[in-house]
Amino acid sequence: MIPSLCQSCSHVREIVSGKGSQFFLCRRSTTDRRYPKYPAQPIVRCAGFEPSKEGEQGESV
């Protein structure tokens, strides 16, 4: 996958489908409708971006 700002955001949850497809769920979308639930990738600029804490990764499912 092409590098995306979502990969290092504290608001991301990584979703991997049963077929191995990878998606980034934006958890900001649950409280602010300006953010799409599954933004088209790659994201290179986002007003809601907050870097994840060092060593912390989005949740995988």
pLDDT score recorded for residue 10: 97
CA distance 34 to 2: 23
What is d(CA 61, CA 58) in angstroms, rounded to the nearest whole number? Answer: 10
HSE at residue 3, side-chain half, CA atoms within 13 A, is: 1
Kindly state the percentage of the chain with pLDDT values over 90.
80
Domain boundaries, the chain: 5-49
Tell me which residue has tokens 């639930």. 37
Q: 6-20, pLDDT tens digit by residue? A: 999 999 999 999 999
The pLDDT value recorded for residue 56 is 53
Q: What is the pLDDT of residues 1-53, one digit of tens each?
A: 678 999 999 999 999 999 999 999 999 999 999 999 999 999 999 999 999 98
Dihedral in degrees, nearest 10, Cα atoms 53, 9, 11, 22: -120
